[in-house]
Amino acid sequence: MKITLGTVTHPGGSRVNKTGSWRTAGKPHFLHQRCIACDLCALSCPEGCIFGTGQKTYYANEDYCKGCGICANVCPVEDIEMVSEEDEHG
Amino acid sequence: MLEVEEQDKFGDHLFASGHTACPGCGQSLAARLVLRAAGRNVIVVNSTGCLEVFSSKYPESAWEVPWLHSLFENTAAVAAGIEAALKINGQLDKVRVIAQGGDGSTADIGLGAISGMFERGHDVLYICYDNEAYMNTGIQRSGLTPYYARTTTSPPGRVSMGNWRPKKDVPQIAVAHEIPYVATASVGYHLDLDRKIRRALSIRGPKYMQIHVPCPLGWGSDPAHTIDIARLAVNTGLYPLYEVEEGETKVQKIPRKVPVEEYLKLQTRFRHLFGKNGGKKELEEIQRIADRNIEKYGLIGK
Ligand SMILES: Cc1ncc(C[n+]2csc(CCOP(=O)(O)OP(=O)(O)O)c2C)c(N)n1
Ligand SMILES: [Mg+2]
């Protein structure tokens, strides 16, 4: 790669970093029972890796989720729980 | 699981995943919410600090908009230059200029450049992400570090109870420049934050916004509690949310006064205030700061 003065890079090129490998303390499991599609989990995710289009459709892209647990904490209907990495249902 | 391209259909990710901020970082969330409100037609100038570093690990970028890294001290000056160039080319109606940096960059080393930008009347929105210390270099005290916080340069011990100087009131310094819009916001209140960014960008001339962003690493807080802690700062009265437009102040009320201990005890940077060697006097002093804010801004009541 040629290095010039200053650097111009591809927009959103950070997506090559699969920061999901950072998780040490579990990941969110979306129960899809009481979800009211308030979008608060997606809006509160520092990774921007939670998506959903309506009630009970939300999920986290585990390629990027760092397992911070904010989503489970802000969910007003307790429909997200943090589970251990080994949990197959997670 | 959807592919990355498909995820983009959901729209608002102008600040991409794969950035390298710590888990639970308030600043990374705030940056994404800011861009979500601002939209694509912006040019962003970013000072040196955590946000710049974790969004631009060489050779990548988390930004989906034109973004420039200036120096630690000159963000406002670089943004002012971009604004002047857009103006002379007749393009200022097509794109908005945002300058952003941390609290160290804003309140300390960059303050002169910001003052100059305000004074010359550039059409730029300056955003300070206030995590209350120089986090990127290892949690040194800044002008926005609150009273009695532990940082690596204000360590509590036998002769000190932590940071011994008040938090500099930069929003009011901005107000004193008589610029058209000044606001404080919190990453804990995303609707309020969203509205203020949109409002700011609809106004011509210099604007200042300061967003409170908890830092789990620097504050010694649980990453899962970033939003709760941000809200507690507001609801104790320690971080009043208000906006000043054309000299008139509007505040976001708090439902009831929460004692400052509720906020402080969730962060190890204040742990020494709860030890057996005292901290009572300091806690009372912090409570007085909150009470003064509640009084001054009329945070409680209708
Ligand atoms: C002139 C200059 N002095 C010192 C530094 C080293 N430095 C880089 S980032 C930083 C602290 C940034 O603190 P802040 O602005 O609060 O942003 P944060 O990392 O906390 O988000 C310092 C001191 C520098 N890059 N340039
Ligand atoms: Mg800082």
CB–CB of B288/B251 below 8 Å? no
pLDDT recorded at residue B301? 87
Comparing A86 with B79, the larger pLDDT belongs to B79
Q: What is the pLDDT of residue B161?
A: 96
Could you say which residues of chain B have pLDDT below 50? 1-2, 4-10
Q: Which residue of B has its CA nearest to A6?
A: B69
Contact A22, A67 (CB under 8 A): yes
How do residues B106-127 score in pLDDT, each as one tens digit?
Answer: 999 999 999 999 999 999 999 9
**Which residues are placed with Cβ below 5 angstroms of ligand 2, an ion?**
B 102-103, 131, 135
Here the tokens at position B85 are: 């160039």
B172-182 burial: b if 16+ Cβ within 10 Å, else e: ebbbeeebbbb
Residues in chain B: 302
- Cβ-in-10-Å burial (0-12, 13-18, 19+) of B95 comes to middle
Residue A65: pLDDT over 60 = yes
Q: pLDDT tier at A90 (50, 70, 90 boundaries)?
A: very low
The residue of A63, A65, A70 whose CB has the most chain B CBs within 10 angstroms, and thus the best one to mutate to test that interface, is A70
Residue A81 is part of a domain; what is its CATH number? 3.30.70.20
The answer to whether the pTM exceeds 0.90 is: yes
SS3 B185: strand
Q: In Å, how far are A14, B76, B77, B116, B207 from B121, measured between CA atoms?
A: 35, 12, 12, 9, 9
d(CA B83, CA B65): 16
What pLDDT shows up at residue B277? 76
Structure tokens at A32: 């899809």
* Ligand 1 atom closest to residue B101's alpha carbon, by position in its atom list: 15
The answer to whether residue A8 sits within a structural domain is: no
Per DSSP, which regions of chain A are E strands?
Answer: 27-30, 50-51, 59-60, 80-83
Q: Residues A15-21: what's their mean pLDDT? A: 95
Q: What is the C-alpha end-to-end distance of chain B, expressed in Å?
A: 47
Cα of B135 to ligand 1 centre, how many Å?
A: 8
Is A41 part of a structural domain of the chain? yes
Q: Does A34 touch chain B (CB under 8 A)?
A: no
For B45, B62, B63, the CA distances from A13, given in Å and listed in that order, are: 18, 6, 8
Statement: residue A35 has pLDDT above 90: yes
Number of domains in chain A: 1
Does ipTM come in above 0.90? yes
The CA distance from A39 to the nearest CA of chain B, in Å, is 11
Give the closest residue to A57 by CA, choosing from A33, A81, A78.
A33
- Which domain covers residue A61, as residue numbers? 32-89
Contact B218 CB / ligand 1 (< 6 Å):
no
Which pLDDT does position A89 carry in this prediction?
Answer: 52
pLDDT at B284: 98
Smallest CA–CA distance, residue A24 to chain B, in Å, is 10
Residue-level pLDDT at B12: 56
pLDDT of residue A9: 81
Could you tell me if B52 and B69 are in contact, meaning their C-beta atoms sit under 8 angstroms apart?
yes
Whole-number Å distance between alpha carbons of B175 and B183: 9
Q: What integer pLDDT is reported at residue B276 of this predicted model?
A: 84
Which architecture characterizes domain B11-297 according to CATH? 3-Layer(aba) Sandwich (3.40)
- Chain A positions in Cβ-Cβ contact with residue B58 (cut-off 8 Å): 7, 9
pLDDT at residue B226 in the model? 98
